[in-house]
C-alpha cells in the first residue's frame, strides 16, 4: 500500500569546474570565461552547458511499505536462525517475546560532525581494508591529479605473494641460515648451499611479533636450537685482512656520514678482539653487544667499499653476494645480543646501521617499524635525556650518547620528509645538547673547556647534519598542523633562513680548515689515530660537506612548495620568497653534480643512494605547467630531462652514481619504482601542454652545461680527479696496534649500569659477556 504522492521539483546542478580541469581531475577556480589554471597553461577553457530544468517529477513516499518489507525480512532472518539452531541443538527452544522493531537511521547530530581543515591530505582506500594516507607534504600531492596519485598508492607493495609460498605447516626459521664460514681471497669458485638459494634469500626479516609466552620453564629452551650461537658468528667472520678493508671503508665512507660511536674507542676494541682471536687470551671478555656492532660495521663496510678494493681481498666474489651474506650475519649477531629485549648502546647502533643502510626515499616505510623501535629503545636507554645531568658518564660516553640520539632524530626527519607523514619524535620535548664538533682524538676529560679550537671537518659536517634535521623537525610539525596559515608560513621561512645562515657559516669554517691544511700539510705514520684523522679531515670530505650544506639550505623550499600550493598559499610564498622555484632548481642541479663527481664515490651509498630530489623535480614540473613560457623554462626542462635520463639505465630505480664507468645498482621494490613512473607521467603531461614531444629527452651530456639564473656552479671548471682519488677519502689501512694514554683501557660505551652485570655473565668461548 502506497502513501499519498508528494511532488518535488529538482534544480539543475551547476558545473563545479571547467571541462579541461574536470577531465584532468585538478582543482579549478571556476573563473569565467576562462579559469586561472587554463589561462596559465594557455589552454582552451570551456564549461558544460547548464541543462534546462526538467519538468517536475513525482516522488512516491514508500516509507510505510519499506518498513513493512524490513519487518518481513527480519522475521525471515529470525526464522532461519531458529531453524539452524534447532538442527544443531534440538533440545533448546528459542526465546521470542514477539516484539519486532525496525531499526531507524537518524541524521547525524551537529556534535558528530567535524570541521575539516582546508586540506586533509589524500587517503587511498583499496581492497581488503588496505589504505595509504599521504599529507600535502608528500611529493606526489604537488600535482593534483587524483587518478595518478591513486595509481601510485595502489602499487605500493613491499613483496609479492610468491615469496611466502611454502608447504602447509612450514615454519620459517627465526634467524636466516648461515653460509660457508670463510670468504675466499682468490678466484676460487663459490659453492652455493641449499640454504642460499634465491627462494630462501627472500625470507622476511624483522621481529615484528613477540615470541609465544613461556607457559612452562621448559618452553624457554625450545628456541635454543634456532637461536644463533657465538661460535657460528665467529666462524662466519671474514679474515683479519678482509676485515681491515671493510672496517676502514666503513670509517671513511659510512662513519664520515653517520657517526654512531667513538672511532678511537671502537678501534681499540677491534684490536683487542683481533688479538683474542689469534691468542685466545683467557683474560679477554667477549661482549655480544660489541660482536653485534662489529658485524654491522662489516656489513656496512661492504656496501660502502668500492668494487676494485673488494676484489683485492675477496677475489671474484661479487659485492652483491658479499653484502647479502654479511647482512644475514649482522642480523643474527644483533639477535644474539637479545635486542631489543635487552638492548645496549652498541646493539642499538648496530640495529640503526643495518636497518638504515638500504633506506630509500621512494620507499621510506619499507622498514616501517625501524624508527619506532629505535626511538623507544633510545628512550629506554635514557638517550632522550641530556647525559651530563646523570653525572657518571665519561666524556666519550656523553659524546656517543648524543651522537646516537641525534642520529635517530635525523633519520626520523628524513623518513618524514620522504613519506609525507609527521615525524615520530618532537625535538621540543627533549633537552639533549648538540654533539661536539671536535676531532675524535680531542674528546677527553677536558674537551669541554677547549671550545672549538680543534674542530674537524667531520665534526662540523655531522653537527650541520644534526642541526638541519632538528630544524627540519620543527618545519615538519608546522607543515602537518591541522590548518596551515600564513603565520605558519612566516615561521617556516624564518626557520629556513636560520638554516641558510647556519649552513653558510659551516661552509666558511670548513674553508678555513682547508686553508690551514694547505699551508701546514699533515703527515701520517700509518697508526690508527692518524688514519682516523685522515678520514675526518680530507679534501674530498670537505668538498662533499660543502655541497651537502648547499643542498640542505635549498631542501626546505622544495618540501614546503607542495603544502603551500595545496593550501592556496603559493602566492604568499612567492611574494615573501620570490626565489622559491630557484632553490628547487638549485637542489636538482647540485644533486646531479654530486652524483656525477667521482671523488664523492665513498658517500654515493647515501647520496644519491638514499636521497633523491623527488620534491624538487615535482615542484619544477608543476611550475612548468603553470608557467610554460617562463624565461628559464627551456633550461629547466633540460634539468628535468637530465634527471630522468640518469634513471634510464637503472630500470626506474632513481638517479644513480657510477663506478668505473658502470652504474652502481640501486634496487627498489615495485612501489619505489612506481614513484619514478609517476614523475615521468607528470613530466609527460607538462611537456604535452607545452606542445613538446614527451618521448624526446632534450638534455646535455653533463649538468654543468645547464646554466640557470641564480644557481651557482662552483665546480664547473674543476679538473677531473686523478686515479689516486680512489683511496684518498678512505684513508690508509693501518698496520699498527695503537693505544692512547688518555683512553687507558678500551672505553666500553655500553649502557652504564648494565655493563657490570654483563661482565659477571661469562660463558661460551673464552669469557663471553651476553
Beta strands per DSSP E along 127-229: 131-134
Q: Which of 36-50, 447-461, 553-567 has the highest average model confidence (pLDDT)?
A: 553-567
Q: Please choose, from the candidates 313, 179, 327, the residue with its C-alpha nearest in 3D space to the C-alpha of residue 242.
A: 313
Q: Above 70 in pLDDT, residue 213? A: no
pLDDT at 527: 73
Reported residue count of the chain is: 770
What average pLDDT does range 315-324 have in this prediction?
92
What average pLDDT does range 165-175 have in this prediction?
34
Burial class (CB in 10 A: 0-12, 13-18, 19+), 154: middle
**Separation between Cα atoms, residue 522 and residue 456, nearest integer Å:** 13
pLDDT at 13: 59
Averaged pLDDT of the chain:
76
Burial class (CB in 10 A: 0-12, 13-18, 19+), 756: exposed
**Separation between Cα atoms, residue 121 and residue 65, nearest integer Å:** 43
Q: Which of 219-223, 277-281, 503-507 has the highest average model confidence (pLDDT)?
A: 503-507
Q: Above 80 in pLDDT, residue 553? A: yes
* 3-state secondary structure (DSSP) of residue 390: coil
- What confidence tier does 766 reach under pLDDT thresholds 50, 70, 90? very low
Higher-scoring residue by pLDDT: 265, 133: 265
pLDDT per residue over 578-624, tens digit each? 999 999 999 999 999 999 998 898 999 999 999 999 999 999 999 99
Q: Which residues pair with 122 in a beta bridge?
A: 134
Question: Helices 670-689 and 146-154, interaxial angle, to 10°?
Answer: 160
Question: In terms of C-beta distances under 8 Å and separation of at least 24 residues, what long-range contacts does 49-55 make, across chains too?
Answer: 50/12, 50/14, 50/15, 51/12, 52/12, 53/9, 53/10, 53/11, 53/12, 54/10
**Separation between Cα atoms, residue 305 and residue 308, nearest integer Å:** 8
pLDDT at 88: 47
Q: Above 90 in pLDDT, residue 631? A: yes
Q: Above 90 in pLDDT, residue 49? A: no
Q: Which of 211-220, 360-369, 482-491, 543-552 has the highest average model confidence (pLDDT)?
A: 543-552
> Do residues 437 and 455 make contact, with C-beta atoms less than 8 angstroms apart?
yes
pLDDT at 9: 52
pLDDT per residue over 638-697, tens digit each? 999 999 998 876 667 889 888 877 788 888 887 888 899 999 999 999 999 999 999 999
**Separation between Cα atoms, residue 507 and residue 552, nearest integer Å:** 12
Q: Please choose, from the candidates 156, 160, 150, the residue with its C-alpha nearest in 3D space to the C-alpha of residue 681.
A: 150
pLDDT at 56: 53
* 3-state secondary structure (DSSP) of residue 363: coil
Q: How far is CA 525 from the centre of its chain?
A: 39
pLDDT at 81: 60
**Separation between Cα atoms, residue 24 and residue 148, nearest integer Å:** 10
Q: Which of 52-61, 182-191, 195-204, 361-370 has the highest average model confidence (pLDDT)?
A: 361-370
Q: Please choose, from the candidates 345, 451, 486, the residue with its C-alpha nearest in 3D space to the C-alpha of residue 402.
A: 345
pLDDT per residue over 401-438, tens digit each? 999 999 999 999 999 999 888 999 998 888 899 998 88
pLDDT at 29: 83
**Separation between Cα atoms, residue 734 and residue 308, nearest integer Å:** 19
pTM for this model (two decimals): 0.72
**Separation between Cα atoms, residue 660 and residue 341, nearest integer Å:** 44
**Separation between Cα atoms, residue 572 and residue 580, nearest integer Å:** 11
- Cis, bond preceding 33 (omega within 30 deg of 0): yes
- What confidence tier does 10 reach under pLDDT thresholds 50, 70, 90? low
Q: Please choose, from the candidates 668, 682, 678, the residue with its C-alpha nearest in 3D space to the C-alpha of residue 364.
A: 668
Q: Above 70 in pLDDT, residue 131? A: no
What average pLDDT does range 487-504 have in this prediction?
97
Q: Above 90 in pLDDT, residue 91? A: no
**Separation between Cα atoms, residue 266 and residue 290, nearest integer Å:** 9
> Do residues 566 and 533 make contact, with C-beta atoms less than 8 angstroms apart?
no
Q: Above 90 in pLDDT, residue 712? A: no
Higher-scoring residue by pLDDT: 697, 739: 697
What does the DSSP 8-state code read for residue 287?
E
How big is the CA angle at 628 (ends 625 and 630), to the nearest 5 degrees? 125
pLDDT at 715: 74
> Is the CATH number 4.10.240.10 carried by domain 16-49?
yes
What does the DSSP 8-state code read for residue 736?
S
pLDDT at 328: 92
- Cis, bond preceding 608 (omega within 30 deg of 0): yes
> What residues have CB less than 8 Å from 156, skipping those under 6 apart?
132, 363, 671, 674
Show me where the domains of the chain are located. 16-49, 579-714
**Separation between Cα atoms, residue 174 and residue 766, nearest integer Å:** 27
Amino acid at each position: 500500500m502506497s502513501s499519498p504522492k508528494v511532488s518535488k521539483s529538482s534544480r539543475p546542478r551547476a558545473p563545479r569546474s571547467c571541462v579541461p580541469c574536470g577531465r584532468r581531475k585538478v582543482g579549478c577556480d571556476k573563473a569565467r570565461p576562462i579559469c586561472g589554471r587554463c589561462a596559465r597553461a594557455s589552454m582552451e577553457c570551456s564549461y558544460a552547458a547548464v541543462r534546462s530544468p526538467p519538468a517536475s517529477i513525482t516522488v512516491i513516499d514508500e516509507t510505510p511499505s519499506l518498513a513493512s518489507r524490513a519487518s518481513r525480512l527480519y522475521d525471515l532472518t529470525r526464522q532461519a536462525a531458529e531453524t539452524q539452531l534447532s538442527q544443531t541443538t534440538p533440545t533448546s527452544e528459542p526465546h521470542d517475546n514477539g516484539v519486532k522493531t525496525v531499526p531507524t537511521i537518524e541524521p547525524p547530530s551537529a556534535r558528530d560532525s567535524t570541521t575539516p581543515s582546508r586540506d586533509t591530505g589524500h587517503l587511498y582506500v583499496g581492497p581488503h581494508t588496505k589504505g595509504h594516507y599521504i599529507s600535502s607534504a608528500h611529493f606526489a600531492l604537488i600535482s593534483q591529479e587524483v587518478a595518478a596519485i591513486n595509481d601510485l598508492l595502489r602499487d605500493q607493495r613491499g613483496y609479492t605473494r610468491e615469496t611466502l609460498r611454502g608447504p602447509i605447516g612450514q615454519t620459517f626459521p627465526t634467524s636466516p641460515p648461515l653460509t660457508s664460514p670463510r670468504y675466499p681471497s682468490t678466484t676460487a669458485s663459490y659453492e652455493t648451499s641449499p640454504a642460499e638459494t634465491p627462494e630462501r634469500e627472500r625470507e622476511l626479516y624483522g621481529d615484528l611479533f613477540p615470541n609465544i609466552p613461556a607457559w612452562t620453564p621448559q618452553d624457554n629452551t625450545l628456541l635454543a636450537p634456532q637461536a644463533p650461537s657465538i661460535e657460528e658468528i665467529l666462524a662466519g667472520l671474514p679474515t683479519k685482512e678482509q676485515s681491515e678493508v671493510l672496517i676502514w671503508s666503513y670509517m671513511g665512507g659510512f662513519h664520515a656520514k653517520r657517526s654512531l660511536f667513538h672511532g678511537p674507542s671502537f678501534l681499540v676494541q677491534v684490536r683487542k678482539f683481533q688479538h683474542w682471536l689469534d691468542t685466545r687470551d683467557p683474560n679477554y671478555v667477549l661482549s655480544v653487544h660489541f660482536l653485534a656492532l662489529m658485524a654491522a660495521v662489516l656489513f656496512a663496510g661492504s656496501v660502502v667499499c668500492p668494487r676494485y678494493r673488494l676484489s683485492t681481498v675477496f677475489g671474484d666474489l661479487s659485492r652483491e653476494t658479499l653484502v647479502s651474506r654479511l647482512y644475514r650475519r649482522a642480523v643474527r649477531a644483533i639477535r644474539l645480543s637479545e635486542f631489543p629485549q635487552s638492548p645496549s648502546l652498541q646493539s642499538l647502533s648496530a640495529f640503526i646501521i643495518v636497518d638504515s643502510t638500504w633506506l630509500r626515499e621512494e620507499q621510506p616505510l619499507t622498514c616501517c617499524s625501524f624508527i619506532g623501535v629505535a626511538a623507544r629503545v633510545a628512550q629506554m636507554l635514557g638517550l632522550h635525556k641530556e647525559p651530563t645531568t646523570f653525572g657518571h658518564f665519561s666524556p666519550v660516553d656523553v659524546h656517543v650518547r648524543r651522537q646516537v640520539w641525534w642520529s635517530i632524530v635525523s633519520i626520523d626527519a628524513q623518513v618524514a620528509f620522504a613519506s609525507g607523514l609527521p615525524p615520530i619524535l618532537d625535538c621540543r620535548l627533549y633537552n639533549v645538547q648538540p654533539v661536539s664538533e671536535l676531532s675524535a682524538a680531542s674528546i677527553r676529560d677536558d674537551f669541554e673547556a677547549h671550545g672549538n679550537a680543534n674542530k674537524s671537518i667531520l665534526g662540523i659536517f655531522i653537527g650541520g647534519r644534526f642541526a638541519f634535521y632538528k630544524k627540519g623537525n620543527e618545519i615538519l610539525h608546522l607543515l602537518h598542523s591541522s590548518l596551515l596559515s600564513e603565520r605558519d608560513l612566516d615561521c617556516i621561512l624564518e626557520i629556513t633562513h636560520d638554516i641558510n645562515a647556519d649552513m653558510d657559516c659551516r661552509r666558511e669554517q670548513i674553508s678555513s680548515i682547508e686553508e690551514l691544511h694547505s699551508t701546514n700539510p699533515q703527515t701520517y705514520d700509518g697508526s690508527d689515530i692518524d688514519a682516523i684523522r685522515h678520514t675526518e679531515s680530507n679534501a674530498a670530505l670537505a668538498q662533499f660537506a660543502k655541497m651537502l650544506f648547499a643542498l640542505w639550505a635549498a631542501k626546505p623550499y622544495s618540501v614546503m612548495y607542495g603544502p603551500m600550493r595545496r593550501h592556496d598559499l603559493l602566492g604568499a610564498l612567492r611574494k615573501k620568497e620570490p626565489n622559491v622555484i630557484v632553490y628547487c632548481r638549485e637542489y636538482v642541479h647540485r644533486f646531479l653534480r654530486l652524483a656525477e663527481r667521482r671523488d664523492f664515490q665513498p658517500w654515493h651509498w647515501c647520496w644519491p643512494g638514499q636521497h633523491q630530489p623527488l620534491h624538487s623535480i615535482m615542484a619544477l614540473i608543476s611550475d612548468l605547467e603553470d608557467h610554460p613560457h617562463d624565461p628559464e623554462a627551456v633550461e629547466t626542462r633540460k634539468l628535468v630531462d637530465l634527471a630522468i635520463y640518469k634513471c634510464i639505465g637503472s630500470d626506474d630505480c632513481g638517479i644513480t652514481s657510477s663506478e668505473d664507468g658502470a652504474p652502481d645498482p640501486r634496487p627498489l621494490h615495485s612501489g619505489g619504482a612506481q614513484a619514478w613512473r609517476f614523475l615521468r607521467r607528470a613530466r609527460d603531461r607538462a611537456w604535452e601542454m607545452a606542445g613538446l614531444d614527451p618521448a624526446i629527452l632534450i638534455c646535455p651530456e653533463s649538468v654543468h652545461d645547464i646554466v640557470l639564473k641564480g644557481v651557482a656552479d662552483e665546480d664547473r671548471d674543476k679538473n677531473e680527479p686523478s686515479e689516486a682519488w680512489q683511496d684518498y677519502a678512505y684513508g690508509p689501512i693501518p698496520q699498527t696496534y695503537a693505544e692512547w694514554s688518555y683512553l687507558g683501557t678500551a672505553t666500553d660505551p655500553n649502557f652504564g649500569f648494565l655493563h657490570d652485570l654483563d661482565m659477571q655473565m661469562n660463558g661460551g668461548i673464552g669469557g663471553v659477556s651476553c
